[in-house]
Chains A and B, each alone.
Chain A
Amino acid sequence: MIEALDAVTLARVQFGFTIMFHIIFPAFSIGLASYLLVLETLWLRTGKAVYLNLFRFWMKIFAVAFGMGVVSGIAMSYQFGTNWSVFSDKAGPIIGPLMAYEVLTAFFMEAGFLGVMLFGMGRVSKSLHVVATGIVAAGTLVSAFWILAVNSWMHTPAGFSINDAGQFVPENWVAIVFNPSFPFRLVHMVLAAYLTTALVVGAVGAFHLLRERTNAEARRMFSMAMWMVAVVAPLQIVAGDLHGLNTLAHQPVKVMAMEGHYESYPKGAPLFLFGVPNEANQRLDHSIGIPRMASLILHHDPDHPVKGLDSVPDENQPPVAAVFFSFRIMVGIGLLIALLGLSGLVLRRRRRLFESPAFLRAAVAMGPSGFVAIVAGWVTTEVGRQPYTVYGLLLTGDSASPIDAPAVAASLTSFVVVYFVVFGFGIWYLLRMMRSGPVATEPPTGSQRKNPRPSPPTQPPGLGHGHD
């Protein structure tokens, strides 16, 4: 029995580890693909070289990030079967088709047109090239749509029945896809992807502005990124709040863990800013809280009673510490990002957006914060729904494959070693490319051989007086 438990725990660690690495790349490529589309469209509209230079610069970075997303994604698509075979058998009839639609509507489109986007400049016309970029960008969003439908259904299952073999059988696909938590999760995740990308773009721009205040590409990308942060950060706070209220309605136990509410509060619950969850004694140690604030936020009434984990049997509780801390990390970073956006607006009004070294340094420091917030938010929602894979219906402990612990331990070790080597190098390359900055490159070199189509003019106006 102990061994069986160990194998499940190892499988969970493996899934968590591989998806945590994976989630970083699609989140970045969702935002970056849209940004590339904006840059290329602006270049075609205005003919300004600065946009082409930025497009080429971020396209190379996109290629590396996208490649890492593809290969780490293959691991995800097979891991359901290798490590969670009982879950696959039971939930396959519902989430399998959604994932198949993701492959059919998104992955093929992205992969098919990525080749044209990366290698096709000079081989296809300019307008066809921008269409390819647009299709790649759309593909990333369509992919997010389906995979978040899958994830949301596991949190708030709807539109199904259960057959004799214990399988979830689809009854209503609209109810399955648009399950109660889906719209909130989708908006929250896509905004997170845009915000994360804007922070990276902003950090790279700020880094180069600190070296050379007049760098036209750096100024343009920094300005664009700070607009994006200023607009999206407040929207994300609203979206996050609505998602939280949705969670309260459908997964109240998760909210108890997020808030650190071990006890029930019949007359208004405090909002704990900090504390140390004490699982053994079922209480929050060293807590600092604002009285009745949680009732006000969750129920818009300071005296509203709030139930705590004391109303939930121990075996149905998620691990509180992970949920409690990750939630605070996410919200804390979210507030800092909003502050960055606001400061940018103020400086812009004073025409000092590019002039304040302190602000530029802050933007550099905030560069990776979006990724941290995404991973923290993911921990909050996924650990918070334990002990279930399909919420309330299928226990995590009953979902795993009949694989011995040593086999899972061996595969987990291999994943850790390979991911640190491969993605360690990859992230290093990405940072190196970001550090070297955009350059005014050669015009696209088309094929030298006979081309049935006349080569489009590739020399953009204004090229050749860029800078390194």
Chain B
Amino acid sequence: MIDLPTVWAFILAFAVFTYVVLDGFDLGVGIVFPLLGTDENRARAMNSVAPVWDGNETWLILGGGGLFAAFPLAYAVLMPALYAPMIAMILALIFRGVAFEYRWRDPAHRSLWDRGFHLGSLAATCAQGIVLGTIVQGIEVEGRSYSGGWWDWMSPFSVMCGLALTAGYGLLGTTWLVLKSTGDLRERAYVVARFAAVAVLGFIGIVSLWMPFLSPEIAARWFTFPQIVFVLPVPTLTAGLAALLAWGLMTRRDAVPFPASIGLFGLCYAGLGIGLYPYIVPRAISIQEAAAPDASLQFMLIGAVILLPMILAYTGYSYWVFRGKVDPDAGYH
């Protein structure tokens, strides 16, 4: 008999990671938007993500909807604890989402919507980082509900996570632009990507050193024998990918930095997972405790097994249709 809650924890983890990578690069394009120079560069940067952004954001809905469906207790406890950053994220995503259409519809207010696109992307990213930090550091739970205050999410660690994710999405966004653009836009993307890469590696170091101090359980997982043998590949591979990223950025191999950045995100994500398993609300509610009844998980699993591969296939197809360097004249506007 398969353990349905664990299966669903992995499916959700996959959905969230897919979201982080995919929306990460289009939010990242928004984060670095003011640094791209000319209006033509900005238009090309936006066109490089316009056909795919709402598909990317759908993974966020799957993450939220999936948590609601598979782990309703965790959803019910986490969302009130994350009230302010979640609302801020939603509102920020509204601003940057509509900018894709509005900037073309209203040249007179284009700078307003460009600013909305930038600030919305930035605020949504910070909010997501804060959400992550708050979950990692733990929240107060009593019975089946959140029992803390509505400012509890605010802490040095969560704010630092907000900054770290901003650097991370910035790296994904600029390396995406490196991959998709030519000429002046590509040059600028390379410059910004180098700064972002340095910042990201710095943040990876800080978070790695900070996390063990948040709880002895996390420390034990990383620093005691024999666990250390199993987790050691994570930092080792991270160092390898960091080197690959640096090489790609220095020698201008357009196709290297973006996958290398995704790899870095994957390893950090795996590192987080190692620190938090088997909890879904760290050190308060486990995956098993939060899981919906098997009848719910089974019903959804049938759909997920059939549909997720199809979704990945046609998502891949729509990326393939828009493959290659972005055409300056693309768009239907």
Contacts and interface: CB of A to CB of B under 8 A. Distances in A.
A, B assembled together? yes
Contact of A104 (B55, B304, B314, B317): B304
B296 A94 contact: yes
Contacts, number: 251
B145 A86 contact: yes
Contacts of A445: 329
Contacts of B329: 445, 448
A75 B69 CA distance: 17
Contacts of A156: none
Interface in A335-386: none
B62 A104 contact: yes
A300 to B, nearest CB: 40
B303 A101 contact: yes
Contacts of A449: 324-325, 327
Contacts of A75: 90, 94
Interface in B57-80: 57-58, 60-62, 64-70, 72-73, 75-80
A157 interface: no
A104 B147 contact: no
Q: How large is the interface on B (under 10, 10 to 19, 20 to 34, 35 or more residues)?
A: 35 or more
A318 interface: no
Interface string B70-98: 10110111111011101100110111011
A80 B68 contact: yes
A246 interface: no
B39 interface: no
Nearest to B50: A119
B144 interface: yes
B interface SS class: helix
A108 to B, nearest CB: 5
B105 interface: yes
Nearest to A441: B332
B322 A425 contact: no
A224 B35 CA distance: 48
A interface SS class: helix
Contact of B144 (A56, A89, A404): A89
A74 B55 contact: no
A105 B308 CA distance: 9
A64 B323 CA distance: 24
B64 A173 contact: no
B52 interface: yes
Interface of A: 56, 59-60, 63-64, 66-68, 70-75, 77-78, 80-82, 85-86, 88-94, 96-97, 99-105, 107-109, 111-116, 118-121, 123-124, 163, 165, 167, 169-171, 173, 401-404, 407, 411, 414-415, 418, 422, 425-426, 429, 432-433, 444-445, 447-449
Given A97-B69, A109-B314, A173-B299, 16 more contacts: A56-B332, A67-B54, A74-B90, A75-B90, A78-B64, A81-B79, A100-B62, A102-B65, A115-B50, A116-B318, A169-B295, A169-B296, A415-B87, A425-B102, A425-B106, A426-B102
Task: Sort A-B residue pairs by CB-CB distance and give the 4 closest, nearest first.
Answer: A92-B72, A96-B69, A81-B79, A115-B51
20 contacts: A77-B61, A78-B79, A80-B75, A81-B80, A86-B145, A88-B72, A92-B73, A93-B72, A97-B296, A100-B304, A103-B66, A104-B303, A108-B307, A111-B54, A114-B55, A115-B322, A167-B72, A170-B296, A411-B83, A447-B327
